[in-house]
Structure 1
Amino acid sequence: MDRPLFIGLGELLWDVLPGGDQLGGAPANFSYHAAALGAVSLPVSTVGMDERGERALRELEDKGLSTVGIAVTDRCPTGYVEAIVDDRGVATYFFPDDVAWDHLEINEAARDAATRAAAVCFGTLCQRSADSRRVIEDFLRRLPPEAVKVFDVNLRQHFYSPEIVRTSLEQADIVKLNDDELVVLSGYFQLTGDASNQLRQLRERFGLELAILTRGGQGSLLVSATEISDHPGITASLVDTIGAGDSFTAMVTVGILLGLPLTEINDRANRLAAWVCSRPGAMPAIPAEFRLIG
């Protein structure tokens, strides 16, 4: 098959960690992992005209990603986040306000890519500003009808609302969330019963193709119209969890496009996420054995 084009749409930022800065942002992480799985991949974001922005572009290129979809602005600094990792490897994030991706720009290369995309992943964080929210909604309208739109709920601090979550779900084909985020969405949309029933209700209410629940070391639950796949998880030699969920999302999206069985997709995604947890940072080198395309 031709290699499909995957787009990670939203924040590109630096995780400021005790051991040094690591490039990240969920959409950029998704782009990186989709490329590692064999897709043509393009991060679409905005960085500042500063040292962090220059360094971000260099590092993306060093990791084999095209930067043609990254706009550069002199209005705001490149995004960064202070990430504190606890003794379980779980990161807590503190985001400064008014950074480059709060004023998301779509350049000509990104607009052209939208018309050819097979899949796009977006979340709530970049929608914390009204400017970027409008830009994301417009970008999603440019996609081909068959493009798969993946909403990674990714709730951070207070940067979300019922309206942002609802609108995003209405635009999505696949939703991915974790245990804590399911609690929030259950309150928003009066979801009842166990996790499987809540995902089914969410999927049916918003006409989703697939609902994904990740449960950290306890595995994951995938619910489609015809299948439920419950995976117990893979034991990992934990360094940190940064980027693991994004690798999971990329693997599931590739698997769906390839038409793989849900149980196989779930197992592959858990194995990749466990491997990412065993390495520092969001974008470690991925072994060729995980590649699905090409």
Structure 2
Amino acid sequence: MTPKVVGIGEVLWDLLPGGRQMGGAPANFTFHARQLGADARPVTRVGRDALGQDILARLRELGVPTDCVELDDARPTGTVTVELGTDGEPHYTIHEGVAWDHLRGEAPGRRAVAAADAVCFGTLAQRHDDSRHAIRTLLGDVPPTALRVFDVNLRQSYFSRPVVEDSLRLANVLKLNETELPRLAELFGIEGDEPSRIEQLAQQFHLQAVAFTRGGRGSLLHRDGKWSDHPGVPVKVQDTIGAGDSFTAAMTLGLLAGWELDTINQRANEIAAHVASRAGGTPPLPESLCRPFQVAWAES
């Protein structure tokens, strides 16, 4: 059975030194989930402008449904100025007053989340009251058996303890990286080494699973008191845009497939490494990386 997956939040143009690329964590997540065989779509909002039309065209080119993309008559499509460090790490200037700040949660999006096996959301798209209210309303429509994946995705100053805490309480799966874990530990007064902090977050917020990515050091997965520690896949990094989102997609679908943690961790690291070796957040994945997921859905 093909899983139904939804990414809720921002879609935008990353304005890179070499040209623009479609981005936004939920859009990247949705694209990679779809490559891995899921029936995946974004719930987002763009301006009724040329950039918005270009977003819709790019999504269609990538094979991503646009039925849950809202159109805003008053506000522009989101853009982000991106500068790449010498290590390929992106540094973002995220422009405000854009369409996805005013997500409404219109009927197509509500129908999509009500039928979902997994949804993914983050903090950035909750920076405005309008989109924050819409996201929480949408999460209220998600079936109780579905995965609700909170990809923390802290950006600039667009987060607060109340937003993070409320999001953790709405989620049952958490994904965060090596810069975000210390910030959450500080917000919630959690001490100890990385595994201890992860375990405390899981216990405090009743999380089914936690994924902790460490860049070139691989990742830790935690579920039901069990751990998987993967050292990472060596790769020549072109840029890391979208690598974490592809990891989240693979991890989410691995959980839906019922795989062992080590299997999920291995496949998610391989996929994230491939994305990091390519430019932009939505490079095509080779068939060899997609096939295990596609076989899982064919057999279910």
Tell whether the structures are fold-level matches, with TM greater than 0.5.
yes
Q: Which residue of 2 aligns with 1:196?
A: 195
Which amino acid in the other structure matches residue 264 of structure 2?
Answer: I
Q: Which residue of 2 aligns with 1:249?
A: 248
Q: Any stretches of 5+ residues in structure 1 without a counterpart?
A: none
Question: Does residue 224 of structure 1 match 2:223?
Answer: yes
Q: CA deviation at 1:275?
A: 0.3
Q: Which residue of 2 aligns with 1:101?
A: 100
Contact 1:89 1:238 in 2 (8 A): yes
Deviations 1:228-250 (A, max 9, x none): 11111110121000000000000
Q: Which residue of 2 aligns with 1:4?
A: 3
Deviations 1:202-232 (A, max 9, x none): 0000000011111101111111123111111
Q: Which residue of 1 aligns with 2:284?
A: 285
Which amino acid in the other structure matches residue 252 of structure 1?
Answer: M
Structure 1 residue matching 2:179: 3-state secondary structure: helix
Structure 2 residue matching 1:8: 3-state secondary structure: strand
Q: Which residue of 2 aligns with 1:268?
A: 267
- Distance in 1 (CA, whole Å) between partners of 2:280 and 2:33 is 16
Give the aligned length.
Answer: 293
Contact 1:244 1:282 in 2 (8 A): yes
Q: CA deviation at 1:188?
A: 1.1
- Distance in 2 (CA, whole Å) between partners of 1:253 and 1:66 is 19
What is the TM-score normalised by the length of structure 1?
A: 0.98
- Distance in 1 (CA, whole Å) between partners of 2:152 and 2:183 is 10
Question: Does residue 84 of structure 1 match 2:79?
Answer: no
Which amino acid in the other structure matches residue 74 of structure 2?
Answer: R
Which amino acid in the other structure matches residue 14 of structure 1?
Answer: W
Structure 1 residue matching 2:125: 3-state secondary structure: helix
What is the TM-score normalised by the length of structure 2?
A: 0.96
- Distance in 2 (CA, whole Å) between partners of 1:75 and 1:111 is 22
- Distance in 1 (CA, whole Å) between partners of 2:237 and 2:210 is 26
- Distance in 2 (CA, whole Å) between partners of 1:288 and 1:67 is 24
Q: Which residue of 2 aligns with 1:172?
A: 171
Deviations 1:21-63 (A, max 9, x none): 0001000110000001100001110000111100000000000
Q: Which residue of 1 aligns with 2:140?
A: 141
Contact 2:105 2:135 in 1 (8 A): no
Q: Which residue of 2 aligns with 1:206?
A: 205
- Distance in 1 (CA, whole Å) between partners of 2:211 and 2:68 is 28
Q: Which residue of 2 aligns with 1:129?
A: 128
Contact 1:220 1:233 in 2 (8 A): yes
Deviations 1:161-204 (A, max 9, x none): 00000000000011111111111100111212110010000000
- Distance in 2 (CA, whole Å) between partners of 1:7 and 1:290 is 21
Q: Runs of 4+ in structure 1 displaced over 4 angstroms? A: none
Q: CA deviation at 1:107?
A: 2.5
Contact 1:70 1:107 in 2 (8 A): no
Contact 2:121 2:151 in 1 (8 A): yes
Which amino acid in the other structure matches residue 164 of structure 2?
Answer: V
Q: 1:42-53 counterparts in 2 under 5 A?
A: 42-53=41-52
Percent sequence identity over matched residues?
46
Q: CA deviation at 1:290?
A: 1.8
CA RMSD of aligned residues (A): 0.8
Q: CA deviation at 1:108?
A: 2.1
Q: Any stretches of 5+ residues in structure 2 without a counterpart?
A: none
Q: Which residue of 2 aligns with 1:120?
A: 119
- Distance in 2 (CA, whole Å) between partners of 1:279 and 1:215 is 19
Q: Which residue of 2 aligns with 1:55?
A: 54
